[in-house]
Amino acid sequence: MIEPILEAKNVYKRFGGIRAVDGCSIAVRPQTITGLIGPNGAGKSTLFGVISGLYYPDGGEVIFDGHRLTGLPPHDVVRRGLIKTFQIPRELRNLTVLENLLVAAPSTAGERLTDLVVRPFEIRKQLRAAIQKAESILSVVGLRPLRDEYAKNLSGGQKKLLELARALMAEPKMVLLDEPVAGVNPVLAQKILQVIEDLRAKGLTFCLIEHDMDVVMKRCGWIIVMHQGRTLVEGVPDEIRSNPVVIESYLGT
């Protein structure tokens, strides 16, 4: 048994009277694409929010890569190598596509004002390196021609690509993708999924929320089904597809 890279143990998160996540535990093994599925309101996005530090959990703990993440603010979680994309793209509208990526670059010189004194000559050098890296990522996702466009002018699908590109810029070990291809045309969707698969082959780990069962069954090596804030079942795609409980509560016939 391979040690999981990400483990959420017995996580609780309530919003008012709603128990969005209600004692949920998941484990994601490294270098996999793990699918997180379940009906609307099952708590998938909230669980992502708790894992990435955007929500403070009411209980439970999150372990990533041997470190306890529970209660850490989002920027510290990102520094540990775990990043999340948003379901509805949250592009930085009045920044260019390139700048959207540069913002995500980890610990660039010049990001703290003390760098002006401590390492003034690093600023230009590291910025140049970051731009080169951003350009190569933009090439991978096919946004290179739009490098200097304001992010607000991109199409919906392009914004999804930008979300992914930005996450990659942070040099993560693992990416949480919240519906990376929802609302994207089939051709572009296949391209995004291919990029994800290629990156997995290079060593990244992905956990994705997705409602398109074709995508999930085809691309994910492991599937976790959530229902009413908890894990219902988990397994390889074939087991999930034929599981009567899953069929009843989610897949339908």
Instruction: Please tell me whether residue 106 binds another protein under the rule CB under 8 A.
Output: yes
Smallest gap, in angstroms, from Cβ of residue 102 to another protein? 6
What kind and span of H or E run contains 141? helix 122-141
Interior/surface letters 90-109, b for 16+ CB within 10 angstroms, e for the rest: ebbeeebbbbbbbbbbeebb
What are the angstrom distances between the C-alpha of 32 and each of 28, 37, 50, 151?
8, 16, 21, 30
Rounded Cα distance between 36 and 210, Å, is: 7
CB of 237 to another protein, least distance (A): 29
Q: Which stretch binds another protein (CB under 8 A): 5-13, 99-107, 192-200, 215-223?
A: 99-107
Binding-site residue total for another protein (CB under 8 A)?
42
Q: What is the rounded distance in angstroms from the CA atom of residue 21 to the CA atom of residue 182?
A: 23
User: With binding defined as CB under 8 A, does residue 104 bind another protein?
Assistant: yes
Binding residue for another protein (CB under 8 A) from 6, 37, 42, 83? 83
Q: Which two tokens stand for residue 57?
A: 């959990």
- DSSP 3-state assignment of 208? strand
* 140: contact with another protein by CB under 8 A: no
Binding residue (CB under 8 A) for another protein from 28, 42, 47, 98? 98
Q: In the range 162-201, which residues lie near another protein by CB under 8 A?
A: 166, 170
Dist CA 29 CA 40 (whole Å): 25
The verdict on 111 binding another protein (CB under 8 A) reads yes
Asked whether position 153 contacts another protein by CB under 8 A, the answer is no
Task: Give the binding range for another protein (CB under 8 A) out of 61-69, 120-128, 223-231, 236-244.
Answer: 120-128
Interaction pattern, residues 32-71, with another protein; x per rule: CB under 8 A: --------------------x-x-----------------
Residue tagged 């690509």 (tokens): 161
CB of 53 to another protein, least distance (A): 8
d(CA 18, CA 14): 6
DSSP run (H or E) holding 83: strand 82-84
Binding site for another protein (CB under 8 A): 52, 54, 73-75, 78-79, 83-84, 86, 90-96, 98-99, 102-106, 108-113, 116, 123-124, 127-128, 131-132, 135, 148, 150, 166, 170
